[in-house]
Structure 1
Amino acid sequence: MTLLKGKKIWMPLIAASLVFSLAGCGGNSAESESESTNTKEPVTITFSFDQGIGKPAQTLVDEYNASQDKYVVKTKILPQDANVVHDDFVNKLASGDKSVDVMALDVVFVAEFAAAEWLTDLTPYFDQATQDKYLPGTIETATYNDKLVAFPWFTNASALFYRKDVLDQLGVEPPTTYQGWMDLQSKVQGKNDIQYTGVFQAALSEALVCNWVEYIANNGGEVLDASGKPVVNSENNIEATQIMLDMVKKYAPEGVTTYTEPESEQVFLDGKALFIRDWSGFWSQANKEGSKVKDKVGVAALPVGPKGTEGHSTLGGLNLVINKYIDDEHKEAAVDFIKYLSSESVQKKMNLIAAQPPVLKTVYQDPEVLKANPFYADFYNIIMNGKARPMSPQYSRVSDSIQTNIHAALSDHINIKTALDNIQSDLEALSK
């Protein structure tokens, strides 16, 4: 009876103990799982860019890391040399290296990397409605074979900076054609120390390519058609190159075929030229203390030729690309980081701390941005019409051919038709 009573007494206790024990295990398991979730290591990705944007880029990275705990971005900073950066990225991606997840790539190299199939297709992550919020030319620089293989980070475009005070004295508006500017030569020479109608960059360099493709685009021409076929030696392009040659020989300083940006800028800053074709950053340089042209400068779209309809500026800047070889988890982190860098608040901050023109349209209307860059009121329409340089997988060789032949033509070593025929032949050979 005692034993039987013992069973009746202890069995419920044992059952209760088991229930309590199981409940305790269940509770500890959930708690452990929760702790595991909370303490899960964040996904770490590496972002590589050049020293030229080192400090502002690092600031943005640090703020991103502080804003969330799911991802961590580390940085790999390369020298401020486009060729060094290009070669570093090529060497990594050609070998399937996964040490860098996101790269800041010069816009002219996107087609090369995309053709080599080194880049992640970003089309699924940025729908058309999202893309439409950005400057159309910048989306063009990020697209290859109808796929969004990069995403714009910041951009740049050229513009025509001119002596507003001189035109005001003459009572004329800025001309919209090359011929209109040429016609002002006799009226402005000697006025306010002006010696030349215009100055630009025509040295044997990439700067020459940027200038020349503007002359042809603004006369209805192009280097490659929509299918990628070379169309260099067209009548429009011959006419446009002749206009550029006329500017070199009759309306610009004698040494213009040796000028890159610094040399051409000095001519304008010394008050000797009516206009300069230059990148957007020149505005602040022209208006800083000590400049002879401070508060005397206006900005306009580039002129058009006889067959042109509107002025198109060459676009520069950097695009963000994702290494194709990284796993899905790292791609997800990389996409999140790119969305952060291309967001409105970060686009605005990048402009304010680094004076880099944003790629997002709405930032150009921001009051703080306009206060810091008052010329953006005019510059917005200019950059909206910006165009990419030829989107070729072999851009470096395309650029070399243009530089060599156009410089020879501007220096009177060969005629324009021969120069353009040479480029046409070179590009046809590259496309085979």
Structure 2
Amino acid sequence: MVAAAAALGVLLPLAACGGGDGGVPTINLYYPPEQNLQTVIDNCNEQAQGRYRIEYRVLPRGADDQRVQMVRRLAAGDRGMDVLGLDVTWTQEFASADWILPWTGDARAEVERGTLAGPLESARYEDELFAAPKNTNVQLLWYRTDLVEQPPETWDDMIAAAQRLKEQGQPYQVLTMGAQYEGLVAFYNTLVASAGGQILNEDGTEAVFDEGAVRALEVLQRFATAGVTSASFTNALEDDVRLAFQSGNGAFQLNWPFVYPALQEGAPELADKVGWARYPGVDAGQPSRVTIGGVNLAVSRYSDHPDEAFEAALCIRNAENQKFSAINDGVPPTIESIYADPEMTEAYPMKDEILAELRDGATRPLTPAYQNVSTVLSVTLSPPSAIRPQETADQLRRSVQDALESKGVLPG
């Protein structure tokens, strides 16, 4: 995600520091748009019994714009921000900049209790917990059951199945995100993890791009040149992919679970012919490891009410409220036990596949320089058809190492 240049020119007015009505502290929650989150906040305010009041400050819809707004205000020491909804890739950056407070003691223990390992890993920095995973996400394989008897287990299998359908004059396309943006980075990261490779070392200080990362480049390049993508593949974002599949153009779709309710509403006749399965792996017999998404809750170092902010964040992401958000807003929970709740079955018929992927999900490279690394990756990988696996890996090893060390001018 590259920070939107237009947003850099305007610094939004700072929110008033939370005094609240009648001396009740106001806890300002800066969080992405979520349709029914206000109900969760109302419940938490009721539970607070007047000790504080949470106010929902809705961030822009675009992730880049969200980050720009928060970074600018935190860099200015804005005291009007209390709880921050961070993309899972931002925790390390914000922690290394000393903008957010670590979770300690009973609060940390409560966050860690029952939370899935992948989301929890994204909330840590230098062995400390700096955020509380509120929701997570993984992509699935969506496929036409009237065209495909069994979902493919590997990319080779899927490409071959699509080519057979193409020869038969059937809908055949494999639809997924290939534009030069974070979605392409997540795509490649999934392939690397599925091939057992590494982009960075365990400490996030050195660019690796080992044999598994080269194998991932081979798969990505082969897919892009196999004649099974859409003409718009290199410009496709999540909703473009959803709409193309929903219109009947594809046999396969690799996308987030939001496509399921959209398909039920927008194309109910097609919905009856769509199944779901685990994301394809790179090698036979080796299940995929899929890149996780989601939002982590952090407490600003500049909050005038940190104790109340930690308590408010714990309430917003507790099991009851995570289940409510999953059912009503389609955001998968980070607390594993929620998936066994009977109420999840109707809203999430694919919950078993989601949970299986989350149990061994892949985090994106954990480094405070992630924005730099992501920019280099998205530019170098685009278009995927131009990848030359070993040569591209060597190039990425050099340019990502420079990005980690903040060297040179990053591509735009």
State whether TM-score is above 0.5: yes
Q: Deviations over 1:26-73 (max 9, x none)?
A: xxxxxxxxxxxxx994333211123x22x4222221221123222211
8 Å Cα contact 1:203/1:257 also seen in 2:
yes
Equivalent in 34, 42, 53 of residue 72 of structure 1: 53
Pairs within 5 Å for 1:18-417:
41-50=23-32, 52-53=33-34, 55-67=35-47, 68-127=49-108, 130-168=111-149, 173-189=150-166, 193-196=170-173, 198-250=174-226, 251-291=228-268, 293-306=270-283, 309-327=286-304, 330-408=305-383, 410-412=384-386, 415-417=388-390
**Residue 82 to residue 288, structure 1, CA distance change in 2 (3 Å):** same
Q: For 2:102, give the aligned amino acid.
A: D
Q: Secondary structure at the match of 1:274?
A: strand
**Residue 291 to residue 232, structure 1, CA distance change in 2 (3 Å):** farther
8 Å Cα contact 2:134/2:295 also seen in 1:
yes
Q: For 1:425, give the aligned amino acid.
A: R
8 Å Cα contact 2:373/2:404 also seen in 1:
no
**Residue 262 to residue 97, structure 1, CA distance change in 2 (3 Å):** closer
Q: For 2:341, give the aligned amino acid.
A: D
**Residue 281 to residue 228, structure 1, CA distance change in 2 (3 Å):** same
8 Å Cα contact 1:232/1:420 also seen in 2:
no
8 Å Cα contact 1:270/1:292 also seen in 2:
no
Task: Give the Å deviation of 1:129.
Answer: 7.2
Task: Give the Å deviation of 1:320.
Answer: 0.5
Q: Deviations over 1:378-423 (max 9, x none)?
A: 3221232222211221222111100111114x242x6233322222
Distance in 1 between residues matched to 2:168 and 2:266, nearest whole Å:
23
8 Å Cα contact 1:286/1:294 also seen in 2:
yes
Q: Calculate the TM-score normalised by the size of structure 2.
A: 0.86
**Unmatched runs of 5 consecutive residues or more in structure 1:** 1-38
8 Å Cα contact 1:201/1:257 also seen in 2:
yes
8 Å Cα contact 2:209/2:393 also seen in 1:
yes
Number of residues paired by the alignment? 383
After TM superposition, the structure 1 stretch with the greater mean CA deviation from structure 2, 282-291 or 244-253, is: 282-291
8 Å Cα contact 2:222/2:385 also seen in 1:
no
Q: Secondary structure at the match of 1:277?
A: strand
Q: For 1:415, give the aligned amino acid.
A: R
CA RMSD of aligned residues (A): 2.3
Q: For 2:37, give the aligned amino acid.
A: A
Q: Calculate the TM-score normalised by the size of structure 1.
A: 0.82
Q: Deviations over 1:238-261 (max 9, x none)?
A: 121111111111132243122222
8 Å Cα contact 1:154/1:357 also seen in 2:
yes
8 Å Cα contact 1:159/1:280 also seen in 2:
yes
Task: Give the Å deviation of 1:287.
Answer: 2.9
Distance in 2 between residues matched to 1:83 and 1:44, nearest whole Å:
26
Distance in 2 between residues matched to 1:334 and 1:116, nearest whole Å:
19
8 Å Cα contact 2:176/2:254 also seen in 1:
yes
Q: Secondary structure at the match of 2:362?
A: coil
Distance in 1 between residues matched to 2:72 and 2:133, nearest whole Å:
23
Match in the other structure for 2:391: 418
Distance in 2 between residues matched to 1:139 and 1:235, nearest whole Å:
27
Task: Give the Å deviation of 1:127.
Answer: 4.6
**Residue 243 to residue 60, structure 1, CA distance change in 2 (3 Å):** same
Larger helix proportion of the pair: 1
Q: Secondary structure at the match of 2:265?
A: coil
Q: For 2:84, give the aligned amino acid.
A: M
Distance in 2 between residues matched to 1:254 and 1:84, nearest whole Å:
29
